[in-house]
Structure 1
Amino acid sequence: MAKLDPITGRYVYLTVEGIEYRVYFEEAGAGIPLIVGHTAGSDGRQYRSLLCDPEATRDFRIIAFDLPYHGKSLPPHGVRWWETEYNMTKARMMAFPNALSEALGLERPVYMGSSMGGHLAVDLASNHPDRYRATIAVEGALRSAAEYVEVGMAGIRKEFDNPNVNRTSIGAAMMLNISPYSPEANVREIQWEYSCGGPGIFAGDLYYYYYDHNVSHDEARVIDTSRCMLYMLTGEYDPNTSPAETKQLADLVKGSKFWVMEKLGHFPVTENYVEFRKYLLPILAEIKAKSK
């Protein structure tokens, strides 16, 4: 008998901002729908261990999708996309999981995202609380650290858009965000995933990550966790979104819950899923209990 993962991959057509995209997604499990979003410049392969976790998939239908221009989701056909600079905006980031949920007929799914996907979990809880029963922000915050913002998009593109050095530069940069306790094989997997992206896509994602995601204190205070529960998980060794920055958000959102993940960094789902699941599974159990 062949050894097979319990994962099914398909394509779905989503129309966002008047453009039709052919979007790849993988899923496993049954029950409460859980959409998971990847980090900037990467793709849904980051969630392969989660999709193969029988404890997670027993009660949850987990759906990992590749944003357009990422992974197996190509740029839109019939659009001269190469003539326009790629920048991911907050409106577009929110539109894709919303459109995916509608296309698949999901009833108030849970959303979980990491890094820029973690920021998105906050934006969805704030802007679309009736679409989601809960969101889980992995490495999320009010906004990205000011010292990164000050670099500017011109600096970001200079660093990451050169097609001759793009993949090497990104792989090296990722090393700075990974916990020193992460197994080497997992670190190499993160580097590999980042080496597969198209030129300019990582930098364009950072437009949302550094600039368009910017939650004010007043906005955070009115996030209603009775409508959409907000959970937050941040790695102890994350220099991009520190536990202190996530705590600042958690202190503003009444009823939210926050945990610091020991010995994990900016990519906890991939860095060490065995450790990450210790934090995730109790959250999923709580969501299940509240959904009865």
Structure 2
Amino acid sequence: MVPTSLALKELCLADGEFQIATRYWTGGIRIEIGASVTGVTLVNGVAVAKVPERAENVITLFGPDIAWDKIRQAIPPRFHNDVFIATARGGIGWSGDSKIWWQYYAAVQRLVELLRSAPDVALDYLPPSKKHGKLDAPIGRYVHLNLSGTDYRIYYEEAGTGIPLLLQHTAGSHGTQWRHLFEDEELTESFRLIAYDLPFHGKSVPPVGERWWEQKYRLDGGFLRSVPVELSGALGLERPVFMGCSVGGLLALDLAHKHPTVFDSVISLEGALRIGGSYEALKELWHPEVSNEAKGRMMEGLTAPSSPESYRKEIVQTYSSGWPPALLGDLWYYLIEYDLRDLAKEIDTEEVGVHIFSGEYDYSGTVEKGREAHAAIKGSTFTEMQSIGHFPMSENPEKFLEYLKPIMREILESRQ
């Protein structure tokens, strides 16, 4: 059943998240579900019970009943849990001004979620159950690295003893994504976990003496690869294990190819031989009239809808608080530069172990891309993670650890 505009208005006015996301918007959201039409008009951010006509300041979502039936499920299948990917691969489309789309993407996605929470649909989000002590385990400090002839002050946190395990965060984020792993005693009894922030991310401030503010930020592969290699040398690490996610997952395979003698093994979370895609289509992620809120909500769309809600919202907050150019700049390596399709066969897993993990709900580094990388790298392992998306270590750490620990035990046994 498609709710009326009046019913939607009441849902919107009772929802604090939607009201925050629509602030200052005069326009509306129009929903065309097969032959049925619903939606709300917005006047300075306030919902009015009137279905708006198609217009530039109105975001219209349209598609057949069969696509909307999937989108409106309490736990939608992959490619239907978020409007961004649903308009690309989920069978629906959208119209309106592209800048408004990004400005109010969070509001559009929230309205779709409210359609799911109509009386005939129930949501059942799992609360996080992880217990913690008074003080968390990691201790942080800075190390100076010479990268491309420039001194960079790099922040890292560490906990545990044993085999060093370097942890690389995703594009546009920072090392706090690994916080749950630091608290797992089974890991920290045998591994020295070290999570670092890339330059310009988190607590790794820009270099002094470089006029970086006059340059467009763009992450290139040579610079990115040098960070864990130089960090390993500076900290005196002997054949560390490297684990990265997203851009870090690609980096893991890149390091296995170009620096196999530095690392004992690499763990590629959401990795691939190539991601590809349109860099131009994402340019408004750095538009001066589009806030970081859009980036955060877009990242939530990459998570599994069954992952604990508080953890998914933490990902939103982390991305929303980052340096505005960072995400798009990092995506240069992720989407454009990185390509191992013709090189992966050169990786020797007798020299460096390769372990690839792919989450079911990741619509970027998909399960299919992970399998392709596994097939191309002889001797690698592959794990498909059900009910997990693009951020396994931070969106559903307990479930992720169930998948990860067998590989960590295997690595530990190989070093004994």
Which range, TM-score by smaller chain?
over 0.9
Question: What secondary structure, in the 3-state scheme, does the structure 2 residue paired with 1:58 have?
Answer: helix
Query: Deviation per CA, 1:145-187, whole angstroms, max 9, x where unpaired?
Result: x4xx2x23x4433x11124423111012112211111111001
| Corresponding position: 1:289 with 2:413 | yes
- Matching residue of 1:264: 388
Query: TM-score by structure 2 length?
Result: 0.67
Aligned residue in 2 for 1:203: 328
Q: What is the aligned partner in structure 2 of residue 179 from structure 1? A: 304
**Residue identity in the other structure for 1:273:** P
- Give 1:57 shift: 0.6
Say whether 1:235 aligns with 2:359. yes
1:141, distance to aligned residue in structure 2 (A):
0.2
**Cα separation, 2, equivalents of 1:131 and 1:104:** 13
Corresponding residue to 2:149 among 13, 18, 22: 18
Higher relative contact order (CA 8 A, sep 6+): 1
Q: Distance in 1 between matches of 2:366 and 2:357?
A: 11
Query: How far apart are 1:222 and its partner, in Å?
Result: 1.6
Deviation by residue 1:188-242 (Cα, 9 ceiling, x = unmatched): 100011011111111000000001111123x111210010000000101110011
What residue in structure 2 maps to residue 168 of structure 1? Answer: 293
Deviation at 1:105, TM superposition (A): 0.4
Residue of structure 2 equivalent to 1:41? 172
Correspondence for 1:129: 260
Query: Secondary structure at 1:62's aligned position in 2?
Result: strand
Measured at CA, do residues 55 and 238 of structure 1 come closer, stay the same or move farther in structure 2, by a change above 3 Å? same
1:94-173 to 2 correspondence within 5 Å? 94-144=225-275, 146=276, 149=277, 151-152=278-279, 154-157=280-283, 159-173=284-298
| 2:300–2:313 contact (8 Å) kept in structure 1 | no
- Aligned with 2:189 (options 52, 58, 66): 58
Answer whether contact 1:47 1:269 (CA < 8 A) is retained: yes
What per-residue deviation string (whole Å, max 9, x for no partner) do you get for residues 34-79 of structure 1?
0000000000000000011111111000000000100001111111
Alignment gaps of 5+ in structure 1:
none
Distance, in Å, in 2 between the alignment partners of 1:100 and 1:133 is: 15
Q: Does 1:4 align with 2:130?
A: no
How far apart are the structure 1 equivalents of 2:400 and 2:154? Answer: 27
SS in 2 for 1:25: strand
Contact in 2 for aligned 1:88/1:205 (Cα 8 Å): yes
Q: Computing the radius of gyration over CA atoms, which structure comes out larger, 1 or 2?
A: 2
Q: Secondary structure at the match of 2:157?
A: strand
User: Quick one: distance in 2 between partners of 1:45 and 1:122?
Assistant: 22
- Residue 163 of structure 1 contacts residue 199 of structure 1 at CA under 8 Å; is this kept in 2? no
Q: Which residue identity lines up with residue 282 of structure 2 in the other structure?
A: I
| 2-structure distance, mates of 1:132, 1:172 | 35
Kept in 1, the 8 Å contact 2:200–2:326? The answer is yes
After superposing on structure 2, the runs of 4+ consecutive aligned residues of structure 1 that deviate more than 4 Å are none
- Alpha-carbon separation, structure 1, partners of 2:310 and 2:398: 14
Deviation string, structure 1 residues 108-153 (Cα, Å, up to 9, x no partner) = 1000000000000000001110000000000000010x4xx2x23x
Matched-pair contact (CA < 8 Å) for 2:172–2:201? yes
Counterpart amino acid of residue 223 in structure 1: I
Determine the C-alpha separation between the residues in 2 that align with 1:184 and 1:252: 36
- The one-letter code sitting in structure 2 at the alignment partner of 1:178 is T
Which residue of the partner structure matches residue 24 of structure 2? none
Q: Is the CA contact 1:41–1:197 (under 8 Å) kept in the aligned structure 2?
A: yes
Q: Distance in 2 between matches of 1:271 and 1:34?
A: 20
Gaps of 5+ in 2: 1-132
Distance of 1:246 and 1:136 partners within structure 2: 12
